[in-house]
Amino acid sequence: MWRLIDLGWTDTLAAALTAEEDQTLVPGRVSLEHNHVYRVLVEGGECLAEAAGRIKYLASGRSELPGVGDWVGVRLDSSGGRAVIRAILPRRGWFSRKAAGRETEEQVVAANVDTVLIVFGLDKPVNARSIERYLVVARQSRAAPVIVLNKADLAEDRAADVAEATAVAGDAPVHAVSTHEPASMRALEPYLLAGHTLALLGPSGAGKSSIVNQLVGRELLATGDVREWDARGRHTSVHRQLVVRAEGGLIIDTPGMRELQLWDTDSAVGDAFADIAELAAGCRFRDCLHDREPGCAVKAAVEAGELDAGRYESYLKLQHEQAATRRLRDEKALLDAKRQGKIGSKAYKALQKQRQR
């Protein structure tokens, strides 16, 4: 049976809950979302809950609705009905993706992740560009990235692969493991401390499910008085998207994590390319895009062979993608403002014109 502390409860969260107007709320952590019904872990058990009308009404996008991993304040229903999520406590960080079908709407797929394992399979050559890309996503979520090179049993030269990944990993640790060699998996144990939340990211087929199975095994912490039923009241067993290990630590494994795209990386691209940011200090123009600008120190470094051309191209590509997403989002914000009557048609058209320039 879990206690709040096993789920990652902190003093900061406690203070945030105390600050809520409604003093009857019970703290809980969202472990599953399905058709707007949430499974919420509370002290010693769990309940099914729905988001309060106020939360749904005030949410301007899906990122303001509860997501797996979120800490929430719920009002329990003493007669055994659904509980109501009345507050979402501040997130420390989150992974999001563009909601299906809506290009610019952000959907939270995992919140409050401490460590993200970025998993690759050594059945394929180490792909530095791919590592960089995932690192950008990780930094944006505020989770500490760890590079896991799985399927080490298939590697020709583990040490060389680790070295290659380490060269682009920045301060992220790199581990070569194999789910076929259980002893190697112990390298990941330090990331599963009590109350610590882990998530996995990486290309399909890299072995994420296999790793989760190894880390979780059968050692799931049993819930207290669990009532499992679906929307029609039938008894059902569900695959949890946030699991609590008996040995300590939590693992988030949501389908959404498998389809992540870059959302708003803001400074994240720069963070993942600290070497380029450093070179950029020598560019002639402060707002240099390191593309075709004269006096660009970054391009000079590529030409002098001091900066890998592939890394440079990867950087440019991510920058462009980030800018494109931001433009789409700005467009949506403008449209929203117009719909809500915050700006009139004339102002809207003028701003739109300005944007297109």
- Residues lying near ligand GDP in the complex (CB under 6 A): 150-151, 153-154, 178-180, 204-210
Minimum distance from CB of 298 to Zn ion (Å)? 4
Please choose, from the candidates 34, 105, 47, 33, the residue with its C-alpha nearest in 3D space to the C-alpha of residue 75. 47
Of 205 and 295, nearer to ligand GDP (C-beta) is 205
Q: Residue 210: name its binding partner from Zn ion, ligand GDP, none (Cβ under 5 to 8 Å by kind).
A: ligand GDP
Who's near 280: CB < 8 A, 6+ residues apart? 288, 290, 297, 298
* Residue 180 contact among Zn ion, ligand GDP, none, beta carbon within 5 to 8 Å by kind: ligand GDP
Q: Which does 207 bind (CB under 5 to 8 A by kind): Zn ion, ligand GDP, none?
A: ligand GDP
Binds 205: which of Zn ion, ligand GDP, none (CB < 5-8 Å by kind) = ligand GDP
Shortest separation between residue 265's beta carbon and Zn ion, angstroms: 19
Measured from the CB atom, the residue of 75 and 158 that comes closer to ligand GDP is 158
What is the distance between the alpha carbons of residues 22 and 26, in angstroms, rounded to a whole number? 10
Ordered DSSP codes for 169-220: -TT--EEE--TTSGGGGGGGGGG--TT-EEEEE--TTSSHHHHHHHHHTT-B
User: How big is the CA angle at 354 (ends 353 and 355), to the nearest 5 degrees?
Assistant: 90
Query: Considering the complex, what minimum distance in angstroms separates the CB of residue 150 from ligand GDP?
Result: 5
CB-wise, 159 or 222, nearer to ligand GDP? 159
- Indicate the residue among 105 and 153 with the shorter CB distance to ligand GDP: 153
Whichever of 205 and 282 has its CB closer to ligand GDP, that residue is 205
Shortest distance in whole angstroms from residue 163 CB to ligand GDP: 20
Q: What is the CA radius of gyration of the chain?
A: 23
Pinpoint the alpha helices (H) of the chain. Answer: 11-18, 53-58, 128-141, 158-168, 208-216, 268-272, 274-280, 297-303, 309-339, 345-356
Q: Which is nearer to ligand GDP, 189 or 264 (CB)?
A: 189
Within 13 Å and on the Cβ side, how many CA atoms surround 65?
22
Nearest approach in angstroms of CB 239 to ligand GDP is 14
**Per-residue binding letters, 62-91, with Zn ion (x by CB under 5 A):** ------------------------------
Which among Zn ion, ligand GDP, none contacts residue 288 (Cβ within 5 to 8 A by kind)?
Zn ion
From the list Zn ion, ligand GDP, none, pick the one residue 249 interacts with, judged by a Cβ distance below 5 to 8 Å according to partner type: none
Per-residue tokens: 226: 């669990």
Quote the tokens at residue 47. Answer: 């309940």
- Nearest to ligand GDP of 158, 332 (CB atom): 158
Token digits for 70?
Answer: 């979120």
Q: Taking CB under 5 A as the criterion, which residues in 276-335 touch Zn ion?
A: 283, 288, 290, 296, 298
Q: Minimum distance from CB of 204 to ligand GDP (Å)?
A: 4
Q: Helix (H, G, I), strand (E, B), or coil: what is residue 64?
A: helix
Residue 258, exposed/middle/buried by CB under 10 A (0-12, 13-18, 19+)?
middle
Distance CA 298, CA 282 (A): 8
In this complex, which beta carbon is closest to Zn ion, that of residue 68 or of residue 298? 298
Q: How far apart are CA 241 and CA 198, in angstroms?
A: 12
Binding site for Zn ion (CB under 5 A): 283, 288, 290, 296, 298
